Amino acid sequence: MSSDFVTADEIRDRFASAMSAMYQAEVPQYGTLLSLVEQVNRQTLEADPALAERLEASGEHARLGVERHGAIRVGTAEELATLRRLFAVMGMFPVGYYDLSEAGVPVHSTAFRPVTDEALARNPFRLFTSLLRLELIEDVELRTLASEILAKRDIFTPGVRELIATFEQQGGLTEEQAERFVAEALETFRWHQDATVDRATYERLHSAHRLIADVVCFRGPHINHLTPRTLDIDEAQRRMPEHGMTPKAVIEGPPRRACPILLRQTSFKALEETTRFVGDAEGSHTARFGEIEQRGVALTPKGRALYDRLLGEARKATQGLDNAAHQARLAEVFTDFPDDETTLRREGLAYFVYRAVDEFDGDASVEAQIAAGKVVAEPLTYEDFLPVSAAGIFQSNLGGEESAVGQGNANRDAFEAALGASVRDELELYARRERESLAALGLKR
Protein backbone atom coordinates (compact mmCIF):
# COMPACT_ATOMS: atom_id res chain seq x y z
CA MET A 1 0.00 0.00 0.00
CA SER A 2 2.14 2.78 -1.34
CA SER A 3 -0.21 5.44 0.05
CA ASP A 4 1.06 4.59 3.52
CA PHE A 5 4.57 5.58 2.56
CA VAL A 6 6.11 8.95 3.19
CA THR A 7 7.19 10.46 -0.13
CA ALA A 8 10.86 10.69 -1.03
CA ASP A 9 10.45 14.48 -1.33
CA GLU A 10 9.14 14.66 2.22
CA ILE A 11 12.02 12.56 3.56
CA ARG A 12 14.56 14.73 1.72
CA ASP A 13 12.95 17.89 3.07
CA ARG A 14 13.12 16.57 6.64
CA PHE A 15 16.67 15.33 6.17
CA ALA A 16 17.86 18.67 4.73
CA SER A 17 16.42 20.51 7.65
CA ALA A 18 17.90 18.05 10.18
CA MET A 19 21.29 18.41 8.49
CA SER A 20 21.04 22.19 8.63
CA ALA A 21 20.19 22.09 12.34
CA MET A 22 23.08 19.72 13.05
CA TYR A 23 25.54 21.87 11.11
CA GLN A 24 24.33 24.99 12.89
CA ALA A 25 25.02 23.34 16.23
CA GLU A 26 28.44 22.12 15.05
CA VAL A 27 29.54 25.30 13.27
CA PRO A 28 27.88 28.37 14.84
CA GLN A 29 29.24 30.61 12.06
CA TYR A 30 26.95 28.76 9.68
CA GLY A 31 23.99 30.16 11.60
CA THR A 32 25.42 33.64 11.14
CA LEU A 33 25.85 32.96 7.44
CA LEU A 34 22.22 31.86 7.16
CA SER A 35 20.94 35.06 8.74
CA LEU A 36 23.21 37.18 6.56
CA VAL A 37 21.93 35.48 3.41
CA GLU A 38 18.33 35.76 4.58
CA GLN A 39 18.80 39.48 5.17
CA VAL A 40 20.43 40.06 1.78
CA ASN A 41 17.69 38.07 0.03
CA ARG A 42 14.93 40.00 1.78
CA GLN A 43 16.48 43.34 0.88
CA THR A 44 17.14 42.26 -2.71
CA LEU A 45 13.50 41.25 -3.16
CA GLU A 46 12.26 44.48 -1.57
CA ALA A 47 14.40 46.53 -3.91
CA ASP A 48 13.40 44.54 -6.98
CA PRO A 49 9.65 43.77 -7.05
CA ALA A 50 9.89 42.42 -10.61
CA LEU A 51 12.38 39.79 -9.45
CA ALA A 52 10.14 38.96 -6.48
CA GLU A 53 7.14 38.52 -8.76
CA ARG A 54 9.05 36.32 -11.13
CA LEU A 55 10.45 34.07 -8.41
CA GLU A 56 6.94 33.76 -7.05
CA ALA A 57 5.51 32.76 -10.44
CA SER A 58 8.16 30.14 -11.14
CA GLY A 59 7.91 28.59 -7.67
CA GLU A 60 11.54 29.51 -6.92
CA HIS A 61 10.56 31.83 -4.10
CA ALA A 62 9.10 29.03 -2.03
CA ARG A 63 12.27 26.97 -2.21
CA LEU A 64 14.69 29.84 -1.65
CA GLY A 65 14.58 29.70 2.15
CA VAL A 66 15.27 25.95 2.30
CA GLU A 67 17.75 25.73 -0.53
CA ARG A 68 21.14 24.29 0.41
CA HIS A 69 23.88 22.18 -0.99
CA GLY A 70 26.44 20.33 1.05
CA ALA A 71 29.63 18.43 0.35
CA ILE A 72 31.22 15.23 1.60
CA ARG A 73 34.22 13.12 0.64
CA VAL A 74 34.39 9.34 0.92
CA GLY A 75 37.20 6.84 0.68
CA THR A 76 35.94 3.59 -0.84
CA ALA A 77 33.69 2.24 -3.57
CA GLU A 78 31.52 0.52 -0.98
CA GLU A 79 30.96 3.83 0.82
CA LEU A 80 30.02 5.58 -2.40
CA ALA A 81 27.72 2.82 -3.59
CA THR A 82 25.92 2.69 -0.24
CA LEU A 83 25.51 6.47 -0.30
CA ARG A 84 23.87 6.09 -3.71
CA ARG A 85 21.32 3.71 -2.18
CA LEU A 86 20.85 5.97 0.85
CA PHE A 87 20.22 9.07 -1.25
CA ALA A 88 17.78 7.18 -3.49
CA VAL A 89 15.49 6.87 -0.43
CA MET A 90 15.28 10.68 -0.52
CA GLY A 91 14.81 10.97 -4.28
CA MET A 92 18.39 12.11 -4.86
CA PHE A 93 20.25 10.65 -7.83
CA PRO A 94 23.82 11.01 -9.09
CA VAL A 95 23.98 13.73 -11.72
CA GLY A 96 27.16 14.71 -13.57
CA TYR A 97 30.80 13.66 -13.35
CA TYR A 98 33.42 16.11 -12.10
CA ASP A 99 37.14 15.45 -12.48
CA LEU A 100 39.04 17.41 -9.85
CA SER A 101 42.42 15.81 -10.58
CA GLU A 102 42.65 18.51 -13.23
CA ALA A 103 43.21 20.93 -10.36
CA GLY A 104 45.57 18.72 -8.40
CA VAL A 105 42.87 17.42 -6.05
CA PRO A 106 42.92 13.59 -5.99
CA VAL A 107 39.14 13.05 -6.16
CA HIS A 108 36.36 12.70 -8.66
CA SER A 109 32.80 13.60 -7.87
CA THR A 110 29.12 13.65 -8.63
CA ALA A 111 26.16 15.53 -7.18
CA PHE A 112 23.28 13.63 -5.62
CA ARG A 113 20.19 15.69 -6.27
CA PRO A 114 16.48 15.57 -7.13
CA VAL A 115 15.78 15.55 -10.86
CA THR A 116 12.11 16.29 -11.55
CA ASP A 117 10.40 19.69 -11.62
CA GLU A 118 8.16 18.83 -8.67
CA ALA A 119 11.01 17.45 -6.58
CA LEU A 120 13.26 20.43 -7.30
CA ALA A 121 10.46 22.84 -6.47
CA ARG A 122 9.80 21.10 -3.17
CA ASN A 123 13.38 21.06 -1.94
CA PRO A 124 16.40 20.97 -4.27
CA PHE A 125 18.81 19.76 -1.57
CA ARG A 126 22.00 18.46 -3.19
CA LEU A 127 25.16 16.85 -1.97
CA PHE A 128 28.43 17.24 -3.85
CA THR A 129 30.07 13.88 -3.22
CA SER A 130 33.71 13.13 -3.89
CA LEU A 131 35.54 9.83 -3.96
CA LEU A 132 39.18 9.80 -2.97
CA ARG A 133 41.41 8.37 -5.69
CA LEU A 134 44.01 6.37 -3.86
CA GLU A 135 45.46 5.27 -7.20
CA LEU A 136 46.73 8.82 -7.66
CA ILE A 137 48.94 8.54 -4.58
CA GLU A 138 52.36 7.62 -5.87
CA ASP A 139 53.80 6.24 -2.66
CA VAL A 140 52.66 2.59 -2.71
CA GLU A 141 53.22 2.06 0.99
CA LEU A 142 51.12 5.08 1.86
CA ARG A 143 48.40 3.97 -0.51
CA THR A 144 48.26 0.56 1.17
CA LEU A 145 48.20 2.16 4.61
CA ALA A 146 45.30 4.42 3.60
CA SER A 147 43.24 1.61 2.17
CA GLU A 148 43.84 -0.57 5.23
CA ILE A 149 42.61 2.20 7.51
CA LEU A 150 39.56 2.79 5.34
CA ALA A 151 38.72 -0.92 5.21
CA LYS A 152 38.28 -0.94 8.99
CA ARG A 153 35.58 1.69 9.25
CA ASP A 154 31.86 1.55 8.64
CA ILE A 155 30.43 5.01 8.03
CA PHE A 156 26.83 3.80 8.24
CA THR A 157 24.83 2.78 11.29
CA PRO A 158 23.37 -0.75 11.27
CA GLY A 159 19.97 0.94 11.50
CA VAL A 160 20.36 2.93 8.33
CA ARG A 161 21.66 -0.08 6.41
CA GLU A 162 18.54 -1.98 7.47
CA LEU A 163 16.20 0.85 6.51
CA ILE A 164 17.81 1.24 3.08
CA ALA A 165 17.18 -2.47 2.49
CA THR A 166 13.60 -2.08 3.75
CA PHE A 167 13.07 0.82 1.34
CA GLU A 168 14.38 -1.25 -1.56
CA GLN A 169 12.10 -4.18 -0.68
CA GLN A 170 8.93 -2.20 0.10
CA GLY A 171 9.39 0.62 -2.39
CA GLY A 172 8.99 3.21 0.37
CA LEU A 173 9.16 3.90 4.10
CA THR A 174 6.33 4.28 6.58
CA GLU A 175 6.10 7.32 8.83
CA GLU A 176 7.86 5.57 11.69
CA GLN A 177 10.58 4.19 9.40
CA ALA A 178 11.10 7.55 7.68
CA GLU A 179 11.59 9.24 11.00
CA ARG A 180 14.16 6.67 12.06
CA PHE A 181 15.83 6.85 8.67
CA VAL A 182 16.42 10.61 8.95
CA ALA A 183 17.93 10.24 12.42
CA GLU A 184 20.14 7.28 11.47
CA ALA A 185 21.24 8.72 8.11
CA LEU A 186 22.29 11.94 9.81
CA GLU A 187 24.85 10.02 11.90
CA THR A 188 26.98 9.35 8.82
CA PHE A 189 27.59 13.08 8.30
CA ARG A 190 28.34 14.09 11.87
CA TRP A 191 31.71 15.54 12.84
CA HIS A 192 33.89 13.32 15.03
CA GLN A 193 36.58 14.98 17.01
CA ASP A 194 38.28 11.64 17.59
CA ALA A 195 40.48 10.49 14.76
CA THR A 196 40.80 6.77 13.99
CA VAL A 197 44.60 6.94 13.77
CA ASP A 198 47.51 8.12 15.86
CA ARG A 199 49.06 11.47 15.31
CA ALA A 200 52.05 10.20 13.36
CA THR A 201 49.84 8.41 10.86
CA TYR A 202 47.68 11.50 10.47
CA GLU A 203 50.74 13.58 9.77
CA ARG A 204 52.08 11.13 7.25
CA LEU A 205 48.84 11.16 5.29
CA HIS A 206 48.50 14.90 5.72
CA SER A 207 51.88 15.57 4.24
CA ALA A 208 51.00 13.49 1.16
CA HIS A 209 47.86 15.61 0.70
CA ARG A 210 45.64 17.33 3.26
CA LEU A 211 42.61 15.90 1.63
CA ILE A 212 43.83 12.34 2.11
CA ALA A 213 44.13 12.91 5.86
CA ASP A 214 40.66 14.45 5.91
CA VAL A 215 39.07 11.46 4.22
CA VAL A 216 41.07 8.65 5.77
CA CYS A 217 41.62 9.57 9.43
CA PHE A 218 38.08 10.07 10.69
CA ARG A 219 35.13 7.84 11.44
CA GLY A 220 32.94 9.25 8.72
CA PRO A 221 32.51 11.74 5.88
CA HIS A 222 31.68 14.78 7.99
CA ILE A 223 29.63 17.31 6.10
CA ASN A 224 32.25 19.94 5.26
CA HIS A 225 29.95 22.80 4.32
CA LEU A 226 26.30 23.63 3.75
CA THR A 227 25.60 26.39 1.29
CA PRO A 228 22.56 28.65 1.28
CA ARG A 229 21.47 30.36 -1.93
CA THR A 230 21.65 34.12 -2.14
CA LEU A 231 20.09 36.46 -4.67
CA ASP A 232 23.04 38.86 -4.51
CA ILE A 233 26.39 37.27 -3.87
CA ASP A 234 28.39 40.48 -4.32
CA GLU A 235 26.46 42.10 -1.50
CA ALA A 236 26.70 39.00 0.68
CA GLN A 237 30.48 38.80 0.13
CA ARG A 238 30.81 42.50 0.92
CA ARG A 239 29.00 42.05 4.22
CA MET A 240 30.82 38.89 5.34
CA PRO A 241 33.65 40.65 7.21
CA GLU A 242 31.13 42.75 9.21
CA HIS A 243 29.86 39.43 10.52
CA GLY A 244 33.24 38.04 11.43
CA MET A 245 33.78 35.93 8.31
CA THR A 246 36.79 36.18 6.03
CA PRO A 247 35.71 35.40 2.48
CA LYS A 248 38.02 33.66 0.04
CA ALA A 249 39.87 36.01 -2.28
CA VAL A 250 37.54 35.93 -5.27
CA ILE A 251 34.00 34.94 -6.15
CA GLU A 252 34.17 31.87 -8.40
CA GLY A 253 32.24 31.53 -11.63
CA PRO A 254 30.83 34.08 -14.05
CA PRO A 255 30.67 37.82 -13.31
CA ARG A 256 27.57 39.69 -12.13
CA ARG A 257 25.03 39.97 -14.94
CA ALA A 258 21.56 41.31 -15.69
CA CYS A 259 20.56 37.70 -16.47
CA PRO A 260 22.57 35.56 -14.04
CA ILE A 261 24.07 32.45 -15.63
CA LEU A 262 25.16 29.15 -14.07
CA LEU A 263 26.56 29.53 -10.60
CA ARG A 264 28.62 32.04 -8.62
CA GLN A 265 30.17 30.94 -5.33
CA THR A 266 32.25 32.23 -2.50
CA SER A 267 33.36 30.63 0.73
CA PHE A 268 34.92 31.53 4.02
CA LYS A 269 37.98 29.82 5.36
CA ALA A 270 37.83 26.56 7.20
CA LEU A 271 37.90 26.52 10.96
CA GLU A 272 40.80 25.04 12.89
CA GLU A 273 39.37 22.38 15.14
CA THR A 274 40.81 20.40 17.99
CA THR A 275 41.28 16.78 17.14
CA ARG A 276 42.10 13.90 19.48
CA PHE A 277 44.26 11.17 18.03
CA VAL A 278 44.55 7.55 19.05
CA GLY A 279 46.93 7.49 22.01
CA ASP A 280 45.38 10.72 23.29
CA ALA A 281 47.60 13.25 21.52
CA GLU A 282 45.80 16.46 20.67
CA GLY A 283 46.14 18.33 17.42
CA SER A 284 44.07 20.33 15.05
CA HIS A 285 42.43 19.74 11.72
CA THR A 286 40.62 22.03 9.30
CA ALA A 287 37.54 20.26 8.02
CA ARG A 288 34.60 22.59 7.84
CA PHE A 289 34.01 25.89 6.10
CA GLY A 290 31.19 28.12 4.91
CA GLU A 291 29.99 28.87 1.41
CA ILE A 292 27.26 30.83 -0.33
CA GLU A 293 26.08 30.65 -3.89
CA GLN A 294 23.97 32.49 -6.41
CA ARG A 295 22.29 30.47 -9.11
CA GLY A 296 21.40 31.57 -12.63
CA VAL A 297 20.10 30.03 -15.83
CA ALA A 298 21.35 26.63 -17.06
CA LEU A 299 23.34 26.86 -20.28
CA THR A 300 23.02 24.62 -23.32
CA PRO A 301 26.17 22.88 -24.65
CA LYS A 302 26.63 25.89 -26.94
CA GLY A 303 26.28 28.34 -24.06
CA ARG A 304 28.54 26.25 -21.87
CA ALA A 305 31.25 26.14 -24.55
CA LEU A 306 31.13 29.93 -24.75
CA TYR A 307 31.28 30.19 -20.95
CA ASP A 308 34.27 27.85 -20.76
CA ARG A 309 36.10 29.74 -23.51
CA LEU A 310 35.53 33.15 -21.92
CA LEU A 311 36.42 31.87 -18.45
CA GLY A 312 39.65 30.45 -19.88
CA GLU A 313 40.46 33.79 -21.47
CA ALA A 314 39.66 35.71 -18.31
CA ARG A 315 41.74 33.32 -16.20
CA LYS A 316 44.94 34.34 -17.91
CA ALA A 317 44.14 37.99 -17.25
CA THR A 318 42.93 37.75 -13.66
CA GLN A 319 45.79 35.87 -11.95
CA GLY A 320 46.50 37.38 -8.57
CA LEU A 321 43.91 40.16 -8.77
CA ASP A 322 41.73 41.07 -5.81
CA ASN A 323 38.00 40.42 -6.09
CA ALA A 324 37.04 43.89 -7.35
CA ALA A 325 39.67 43.86 -10.10
CA HIS A 326 38.98 40.20 -10.88
CA GLN A 327 35.25 40.89 -11.30
CA ALA A 328 35.88 43.97 -13.43
CA ARG A 329 38.19 42.06 -15.77
CA LEU A 330 35.78 39.13 -15.91
CA ALA A 331 32.89 41.46 -16.77
CA GLU A 332 34.92 42.91 -19.64
CA VAL A 333 35.68 39.49 -21.09
CA PHE A 334 32.07 38.41 -20.66
CA THR A 335 30.68 41.28 -22.75
CA ASP A 336 30.91 38.66 -25.53
CA PHE A 337 28.20 36.68 -23.77
CA PRO A 338 24.68 37.96 -24.58
CA ASP A 339 22.97 39.32 -21.48
CA ASP A 340 19.28 39.50 -22.26
CA GLU A 341 16.88 36.59 -22.05
CA THR A 342 15.53 36.89 -25.56
CA THR A 343 18.97 36.60 -27.13
CA LEU A 344 20.03 33.81 -24.78
CA ARG A 345 16.93 31.93 -25.82
CA ARG A 346 16.91 32.66 -29.54
CA GLU A 347 20.59 31.85 -29.91
CA GLY A 348 20.13 28.61 -28.01
CA LEU A 349 22.61 29.55 -25.29
CA ALA A 350 20.39 28.81 -22.28
CA TYR A 351 17.50 26.55 -21.28
CA PHE A 352 13.99 27.85 -20.67
CA VAL A 353 10.64 26.41 -19.71
CA TYR A 354 7.52 27.66 -21.39
CA ARG A 355 4.29 28.47 -19.59
CA ALA A 356 0.95 29.60 -21.00
CA VAL A 357 -0.41 32.74 -19.35
CA ASP A 358 -3.46 33.01 -21.58
CA GLU A 359 -5.48 30.75 -23.86
CA PHE A 360 -4.20 30.49 -27.36
CA ASP A 361 -4.71 28.56 -30.57
CA GLY A 362 -3.56 28.64 -34.14
CA ASP A 363 0.09 29.39 -34.57
CA ALA A 364 2.22 26.61 -33.12
CA SER A 365 5.40 28.65 -33.14
CA VAL A 366 6.56 29.53 -29.67
CA GLU A 367 7.95 32.88 -30.86
CA ALA A 368 4.54 33.89 -32.23
CA GLN A 369 2.81 33.03 -28.97
CA ILE A 370 5.42 34.83 -26.90
CA ALA A 371 5.05 37.90 -29.15
CA ALA A 372 1.27 37.71 -28.67
CA GLY A 373 1.76 37.63 -24.89
CA LYS A 374 0.13 34.20 -24.55
CA VAL A 375 3.22 32.27 -23.49
CA VAL A 376 6.17 33.22 -21.29
CA ALA A 377 9.63 31.71 -21.27
CA GLU A 378 11.23 31.34 -17.85
CA PRO A 379 14.92 30.63 -17.38
CA LEU A 380 15.65 27.14 -16.02
CA THR A 381 17.77 27.39 -12.91
CA TYR A 382 21.17 25.68 -13.02
CA GLU A 383 21.01 22.89 -10.44
CA ASP A 384 24.56 21.57 -10.76
CA PHE A 385 28.18 22.53 -10.08
CA LEU A 386 31.17 23.84 -12.00
CA PRO A 387 34.46 21.92 -11.94
CA VAL A 388 36.70 25.00 -12.12
CA SER A 389 34.78 26.69 -9.30
CA ALA A 390 34.76 23.50 -7.23
CA ALA A 391 38.53 23.24 -7.65
CA GLY A 392 38.87 26.85 -6.45
CA ILE A 393 36.76 26.07 -3.39
CA PHE A 394 38.70 22.89 -2.62
CA GLN A 395 41.99 24.75 -2.92
CA SER A 396 40.93 27.68 -0.82
CA ASN A 397 40.06 25.24 1.95
CA LEU A 398 43.09 23.06 1.58
CA GLY A 399 45.20 26.08 2.37
CA GLY A 400 45.69 27.03 -1.27
CA GLU A 401 48.28 24.34 -1.86
CA GLU A 402 48.52 23.11 -5.42
CA SER A 403 49.88 19.68 -5.96
CA ALA A 404 50.68 17.68 -9.01
CA VAL A 405 48.54 14.69 -8.06
CA GLY A 406 47.77 12.92 -11.34
CA GLN A 407 46.58 15.92 -13.30
CA GLY A 408 44.15 15.46 -16.16
CA ASN A 409 43.18 11.99 -15.18
CA ALA A 410 39.44 11.84 -15.66
CA ASN A 411 38.13 8.33 -15.22
CA ARG A 412 34.40 8.35 -15.36
CA ASP A 413 34.22 4.60 -15.94
CA ALA A 414 36.07 3.88 -12.71
CA PHE A 415 33.84 6.33 -10.86
CA GLU A 416 30.68 4.71 -12.18
CA ALA A 417 32.02 1.25 -11.40
CA ALA A 418 32.57 2.37 -7.79
CA LEU A 419 29.16 4.02 -7.66
CA GLY A 420 27.51 0.91 -9.06
CA ALA A 421 25.50 2.97 -11.53
CA SER A 422 26.00 5.53 -14.23
CA VAL A 423 25.61 9.21 -13.50
CA ARG A 424 22.87 11.11 -15.30
CA ASP A 425 23.76 13.69 -17.88
CA GLU A 426 22.79 17.09 -16.46
CA LEU A 427 22.42 18.68 -19.90
CA GLU A 428 19.99 15.99 -20.98
CA LEU A 429 17.89 16.70 -17.86
CA TYR A 430 17.59 20.41 -18.71
CA ALA A 431 16.92 19.71 -22.39
CA ARG A 432 14.18 17.30 -21.46
CA ARG A 433 12.47 19.74 -19.09
CA GLU A 434 12.52 22.38 -21.83
CA ARG A 435 11.21 19.92 -24.45
CA GLU A 436 8.43 18.67 -22.20
CA SER A 437 7.24 22.19 -21.37
CA LEU A 438 6.93 22.91 -25.10
CA ALA A 439 5.22 19.60 -25.80
CA ALA A 440 2.70 20.22 -23.03
CA LEU A 441 1.64 23.41 -24.81
CA GLY A 442 1.73 21.79 -28.25
CA LEU A 443 4.32 24.30 -29.40
CA LYS A 444 7.44 24.12 -31.55
CA ARG A 445 10.57 26.15 -31.30
For residues 269-308, which are near Ni ion according to CB under 5 A?
Answer: 291
The residue within the footprint of ligand OOG, chosen from 265, 266, 300, 318 (CB under 6 A), is 265
The residue within the footprint of ligand OOG, chosen from 8, 27, 71, 443 (CB under 6 A), is 71
- 251 part of the interface to ligand OOG, by CB under 6 A: no
> Taking CB under 5 A as the rule, which mask of x and - marks residues 60-99 in contact with Ni ion?
-----------x----------------------------
> What residues contact residue 285 under an 8 Å CB cut-off, 6+ apart?
195, 202, 213, 214, 217, 272, 273, 275
CB-based closest residue to ligand OOG: 390
> What residues contact residue 350 under an 8 Å CB cut-off, 6+ apart?
259, 261, 297, 298, 299, 300, 303, 341, 344, 379, 380
- 113 part of the interface to ligand OOG, by CB under 6 A: no
Beta pairing partners, 273: 285
The piece of 187-195, 330-338, 348-356, 387-395 that touches ligand OOG (CB under 6 A) is 387-395
For residues 281-340, which are near ligand OOG according to CB under 6 A?
Answer: 291
* C-alpha dihedral sign at 185, 219, 96, 422: negative
Query: How near is the Cβ of 341 to ligand OOG at its closest, in Å?
Result: 26
Indicate which of Ni ion, ligand OOG, none lies near residue 113 (CB less than 5 to 8 Å, by partner kind): none
- 415 part of the interface to ligand OOG, by CB under 6 A: no
The residue within the footprint of ligand OOG, chosen from 156, 167, 337, 385 (CB under 6 A), is 385
Strands 290-295 and 272-278: unpaired
Q: Are 11 and 181 in contact (CB under 8 A)?
A: yes
- 73 part of the interface to ligand OOG, by CB under 6 A: yes
d(C-alpha 434, C-alpha 296), whole Å: 16
Measure Cα distances from 442 to 20, 117, 185, 430 in Å.
Answer: 42, 19, 43, 19
- 351 part of the interface to ligand OOG, by CB under 6 A: no
Indicate which of ligand OOG, Ni ion, none lies near residue 318 (CB less than 5 to 8 Å, by partner kind): none
- 394 part of the interface to ligand OOG, by CB under 6 A: yes
Query: How near is the Cβ of 75 to Ni ion at its closest, in Å?
Result: 19
Beta pairing partners, 64: none
Q: Are 219 and 226 in contact (CB under 8 A)?
A: no
d(C-alpha 49, C-alpha 281), whole Å: 56
Query: How near is the Cβ of 69 to ligand OOG at its closest, in Å?
Result: 6
- 204 part of the interface to ligand OOG, by CB under 6 A: no
